Structures are given as C-alpha cells and as structure tokens.
Amino acid sequence: MFWMWVIFHVLVLGLLAVDLGLFQRKEHSVTFRSALVWCLICISFSLVVNVFVYLDLGSTAGLEFLTGYLIELALSVDNIFVFALIFSYFKVPARFQHRVLFWGILGALVMRGTMIGVGVYLVKQFHWLLYIFGAFLIYTGYRMAKQSEVSLEPEANPVIRIVRRILPVTNSYSGRNFFAREWRNGRSRLAATPLFIVLLLIETTDLIFALDSIPAIFAITLDPFVIYTSNVCAILGLRAMYFLLAVVISKFYYLKTGLSIVLSFVGLKMLVAEVYRIPIVASLLLIALTLGLSIFVSLMFPPTKKNELPRHGEPKPGPLLGE
C-alpha cells in the first residue's frame, strides 16, 4: 500500500509538471482543443488508477473508487459556475485564467488531502459522526434544490479582508504576477495584485464546496486511499473542464436538481447504513443515471423563459478591489 501512495503522487506530480511546463510556458488563452485534450488525459489517468485499485484492492474497492470519482466530479462541476462569476467580476484576462486555476487547483489538492485525512481519522474514532454527515448532506441537497442564485461578494470574504489589512492591493494587473512592487509616497512596497485576490477566492470557494463533497464519499467507503485518489483525480480535470464547459454549462438547467438528489441519496445511505447497506453497484447506477438524466433533460427539454428555473446569477463585470 505504501508504494501505491508513492506511485500515485509521482504520477500526479508528473501530470502537474507537464501542465506547468507545456501549457503554461507562455501566456495564452486556452483553446477548446487543448482543454479537450487535457480533459481526456485526466479522465484516462483516472480510469488507469481505477484499474489499478480494482486489481490491487479488489472489485469492491474498484467500484467504490469509480462511484466516489463520479460523485466528486459531478459536485466539482458546480465550481465552474462560481469560477466564471469570479473571473467576470474581476475582469481577469483570458490569458491569465489558466495560471490562476492551475495554482488554485494545486492548493485545493493540499487542502482536500488534509481534510480527508482528518475526516477519516475522526470517523474511525467517532463512528456517530457519519449520522451527522448524513443529515448534513440531506440538508445540503435540500438547500441546493431551493437555491435561486449565487451572488459574489468579495468584500464579505473574511480571507480577503484579512489579506487587505496585511497587504495593499494594486489598482490593476501586473501581467501574470500575483505580487508586484509599487511606488507610494516615494517608497517601494510589495503589493498583492487583483490576480492574487482572485486566486484566494478560488481557494476559499473550493474549500466551501469541499465541505459538501468530501463527506459524501464517506458514505461510499472509509478507505483513505480510495477517498483521496478519487478526490484528487476529480480535481485534476477541473481546470480543463472549466474551459470546456464555462460557455455551455448554463444550459444544464436541471443539473443542480440532479446534484441535490445525489447528495440527499448519499446522506440517506449514511443514515440507514446500520439497518440496510445499499449495494455499491446500486449506488453507482443510481448516481450515474440521475446525473445523466438531469443533463439529458436539460438539453432536450430546456425550460421556457416564462417558467425558467432559478439558477446561478449571470456573471457581471465588477470593480477591481484596489480601485
């Protein structure tokens, strides 16, 4: 098992190095074609990991990985709405968005790894926490179904407020830099650029979403390797998915309804686990069918404007924080 952890991290770091070296060598707007290629690479990598989990840990672990991967990937798609809002609010040039998402996702991997480790330890020590997670997921599913719009209020973000007290923020971007030196009152000082503020918002947004998504996989398995690897594999492809889906994802009108059903089902699965353990195959099929059906219905039967469902607010340009 130790070598599986080592090999997995070596491969993940290799993928990130390729992404950083080949795709970020020059500032550029990510094309649909390059995003599609990277998305296929990440999916292929995830399937290869799934095969190795299946062969080394058994068929049950293999199905648990696939189910966890599907849940995390579907819940990660919801991040794309918020990423689009953030980039639009701060008017981030297209050629810088790839850099922000790369470092944002790298930070997300570290944060999620920490959360998963703490979560697995706590659940194994205090099994009753699963019931709290189950009730929380059902509530989250209900809240997601009723949510009408996501608003963006950077000034209300406590992390941003703390940073602004410590560091000044420049009025404009300084290329692809997160920090820059500016002259003020005849002195040079280090200041954060709006791009760094955007990065912090991406990180804190992912942290908030992780509070919903990570407990969901505890209903599938408590194996730390399966939980961690499926989560990492889902996050790795998120950057490419953003550039693939950012334009069309607003057409998935019923996706949030599908996600709310999935979260509620996973929460229910946690609550009844001691009475009846729902087979992993049944869970996988139900989750896949629910998500697939929500996307199919969205594309084939979009709501009319008169009866249009509430969804995320349209991104609107906003002022830079330093202005």
Domain boundaries, the chain: 2-151+206-300
Its sign, for the CA torsion 201, 202, 208, 211, is negative
Q: What is the pLDDT of residues 160-193, one digit of tens each?
A: 888 888 888 887 888 888 988 877 776 778 888 8
Please enumerate in sequence order all residues whose Cβ is within 8 A of that of 141, keeping only pairs 6 or more positions apart, or say none: 259, 260, 261, 262, 263, 264, 267
Per-residue confidence (pLDDT) for residue 52, from 0 to 100: 92
Q: Which residues of 227-266 are buried (b: 16+ CB within 10 A; e: fewer)?
A: bbbbbbbbbbbbbbbbbbbbeebbebbbbbbbbbbbbbbb
**Is 288 exposed, middle or buried (CB count within 10 Å of its CB: 0-12, 13-18, 19+)?**
middle
pLDDT tops 80 at residue 280: yes
pLDDT tops 80 at residue 245: no
Q: What is the pLDDT of residues 60-69, one digit of tens each?
A: 999 999 999 9
Query: pLDDT-derived band of residue 28, with 50, 70 and 90 as boundaries?
Result: low
Structure tokens, 267: 């929460």
Query: pLDDT-derived band of residue 15, with 50, 70 and 90 as boundaries?
Result: confident
3-state secondary structure of 43: helix
Query: pLDDT-derived band of residue 80, with 50, 70 and 90 as boundaries?
Result: confident
